[in-house]
Amino acid sequence: MKLVFTFLFALSVSATPGHDALAGHAERARAAQQAGDFQTAAAEWEAIVKLDPGLPEAHSNVGMMWHFAHRYPKAIPAFREALRLNPKLIAPHLFLGIDYYLTYSPDKAIPELKTAISLDPGNAMARKWLAMSYFQSGDFLPAAHELNLAISQTPGDPELLFWLSRTYSKILFKSYARIRELAPQSKYLSRLREDGLDLSDTQDKVSNGGDTLSAIQNMPGDHTSSPEYWYRLGRTAKILALKGLSAFLEKAPQSYRVYQLQAEYSLAQGDDDKAIGQYRHAIAISPSTVQLHTDLGNIYMSRHQYAEAIPEYEAELRTDAYSLIALERIGQAYAELNDSSKAESYLKRALAIDPHAFEALRALGKVCYERGDYRAAVANYREAINSAGHPPAPVLFQLSKAYRKLGNNAEADRWLVRFQHELAEEHSRVQQRLEGAREQ
């Protein structure tokens, strides 16, 4: 999508007081933008909106300049003000959605990008970022749907093929995880892992990936507790992930993303060692690419190799200072290594980006508890519980323990009862899933 910045002032304010000042700021903004000095351009546009705050396009241009300066938290309020003045502008919805994605707020990005598409249905760029936002939120089936639509608008786009293969790999990974949770000894788990696929054979098996996945997802009845449902979904995703990898390889055979896709497919297959090697290949080709170091660090965290994970997250932060996941995980890693001061430093940086980040609040509560600051532990645990729609039972138990340390037994008992109730409900849900799986 080619961006066109509209300089309105020569046409719309020629007869207004202060025209010369507005025109001067506009000209300086244009020159700074063309020189790539987006911070100066943003400052000039900010001067314009101070002189005439009722121009939504001017607020939008403030936001765009801060966006291109990679100052996304400063861009967001400018786009919001532009939309307050004119909700029908496409660019502020689009870039507000992008900046929410880049600051790890997919729940806020999705409605903005959907609005951009409703105003401009042919906008493949908005569809790509909408799909990426669904991906970031862990909602992979809608991500696949949007990517298939975007590819129909711009066939053969390597970027879209890359994201589509990634999305199918995540659906495959989720299918493995759900079968393991529902029926660890199920034949479907071994079949999904062992099924061999020939890429030359997949075209006949799956003609349209998005439609096929949707058809499985929308089968009559509730199949989400059925291992067979997850096997069918996972097998289809496996075929499509490999097809996407093959299509991307054909379009961009030298790209680091070939190794990234292979790593994610290996990870979905449960081969962590192979995935680590492939991530290392991708990083060697493109060391400053975002998310590669985080994905590698996540493997080390899952293995409790905290000292190995930390350098990966630090490398991610040198590339993307707004990586909420990297900040949370590096804080958790230092907490596990009993370095509370470093853990607190990184977790507070995460909370500066998102004050309601559940994982950061929970980890900070743990840090405060372990160093004996029980009041701070209570405050962080309660904020974590408030920020989570359905907090996991262990947080309730930790909050009860923190109240007990403060001598507030009434509150400690109240949260302990809630913990026990939640634990009983979780046990009941597991039993129902197991009984349902045995009936399959």
Residue 406 belongs to some domain of the structure: yes
User: 248 and 304: one domain?
Assistant: no
Query: How far is the C-alpha of 349 from the C-alpha of 329, rounded, in Å?
Result: 12
User: 337 and 350: one domain?
Assistant: yes
The pLDDT confidence band at residue 204, using thresholds 50, 70 and 90, is: very low
**Better pLDDT: 57 or 426:** 57
- Give 147-187 pLDDT, tens digit per residue: 999 999 888 889 899 999 989 989 988 888 888 888 877 88
DSSP letter at 89? -
Last residue of a domain, one of 269, 301, 333: 269
Inter-residue contact 411 to 423 (CB < 8 Å): no
Last residue of a domain, one of 219, 235, 269: 269
User: 176 and 155: one domain?
Assistant: yes
Query: How far is the C-alpha of 153 from the C-alpha of 122, rounded, in Å?
Result: 7
Whether 209 has a pLDDT exceeding 50, the answer reads: no
Whether 227 has a pLDDT exceeding 90, the answer reads: no
Cα dihedral angle (302, 305, 310, 316), rounded to 10 degrees? -40
Cα–chain center distance at 333: 20
Give the closest residue to 234 by CA, choosing from 182, 287, 301.
Answer: 182
Whether 26 has a pLDDT exceeding 60, the answer reads: yes
User: 145 and 236: one domain?
Assistant: yes
Count of residues for the chain? Answer: 440
- Give 81-91 pLDDT, tens digit per residue: 999 999 999 99
User: 187 and 308: one domain?
Assistant: no
Residue 435 belongs to some domain of the structure: yes
Whether 4 has a pLDDT exceeding 70, the answer reads: no
The residue-averaged pLDDT of 61-66 equals 94
CATH number of the domain encompassing residue 300: 1.25.40.10
Query: How far is the C-alpha of 163 from the C-alpha of 261, rounded, in Å?
Result: 9
Whether 138 has a pLDDT exceeding 80, the answer reads: yes
Whether 193 has a pLDDT exceeding 90, the answer reads: no
Q: Residue 82: CB partners within 8 Å, gap ≥ 6?
A: 56, 57, 59, 60, 63, 89, 92
Given this model, what pLDDT does residue 24 score? 86
Whether 200 has a pLDDT exceeding 50, the answer reads: no
Residue 402 belongs to some domain of the structure: yes
Whether 356 has a pLDDT exceeding 70, the answer reads: yes
Residue 308 belongs to some domain of the structure: yes
Residue 147 belongs to some domain of the structure: yes
Query: How far is the C-alpha of 233 from the C-alpha of 172, rounded, in Å?
Result: 8
Query: How far is the C-alpha of 145 from the C-alpha of 135, rounded, in Å?
Result: 11
User: 209 and 181: one domain?
Assistant: yes
User: 428 and 387: one domain?
Assistant: no
Helix or strand or coil: residue 156? Answer: coil
User: 307 and 410: one domain?
Assistant: no
Inter-residue contact 276 to 298 (CB < 8 Å): no
* Structural domain that includes position 362: 287-391
CA atoms within a 13 Å half-sphere pointing along the CA-CB vector of 213: 26
Given this model, what pLDDT does residue 335 score? 94
DSSP per-residue letters across 299-363: HHHHTT-HHHHHHHHHHHHHH-TT-HHHHHHHHHHHHHTT-HHHHHHHHHHHHHH-TT-HHHHHH
Residue 171 belongs to some domain of the structure: yes
Which structure tokens are listed for 23?
């025109």
Residue 409 belongs to some domain of the structure: yes
Question: Rounded to two decimals, what is the model's pTM?
Answer: 0.76
The pLDDT confidence band at residue 423, using thresholds 50, 70 and 90, is: confident
Alpha-helical (H) ranges within 252-291 are 256-268, 272-285
Alpha-helical (H) ranges within 157-206 are 158-182, 187-194, 202-205
User: 144 and 228: one domain?
Assistant: yes
Q: Residue 360: CB partners within 8 Å, gap ≥ 6?
A: 324, 327, 328, 331, 347, 350, 351, 354
The pLDDT confidence band at residue 298, using thresholds 50, 70 and 90, is: very high
Inter-residue contact 197 to 242 (CB < 8 Å): yes
Q: Residue 211: CB partners within 8 Å, gap ≥ 6?
A: 148
| 120 φ/ψ sector (left φ>0, alpha ψ -120 to 50, else beta) | beta
Whether 215 has a pLDDT exceeding 80, the answer reads: no
User: 307 and 380: one domain?
Assistant: yes
Distance in angstroms between the alpha carbons of the first and the last residue of the chain: 49
Alpha carbon separation from 83 to 8, 13, 96, 104 (Å, rounded) = 17, 21, 10, 21
Whether 8 has a pLDDT exceeding 60, the answer reads: no
- Give 90-129 pLDDT, tens digit per residue: 999 999 999 999 988 999 999 999 999 999 999 999 999 9
Number of folded domains that form the chain: 3
Whether 197 has a pLDDT exceeding 60, the answer reads: no
Whether 332 has a pLDDT exceeding 90, the answer reads: yes
User: 318 and 422: one domain?
Assistant: no
Query: How far is the C-alpha of 369 from the C-alpha of 381, rounded, in Å?
Result: 10
Residue type, 90: I
DSSP letter at 207? S
Q: What is the mean pLDDT of the chain?
A: 86
The pLDDT confidence band at residue 64, using thresholds 50, 70 and 90, is: very high
Residue 167 belongs to some domain of the structure: yes
Last residue of a domain, one of 212, 241, 269: 269
Nearest-Å Rg of the Cα atoms of the chain is 25
User: 214 and 292: one domain?
Assistant: no
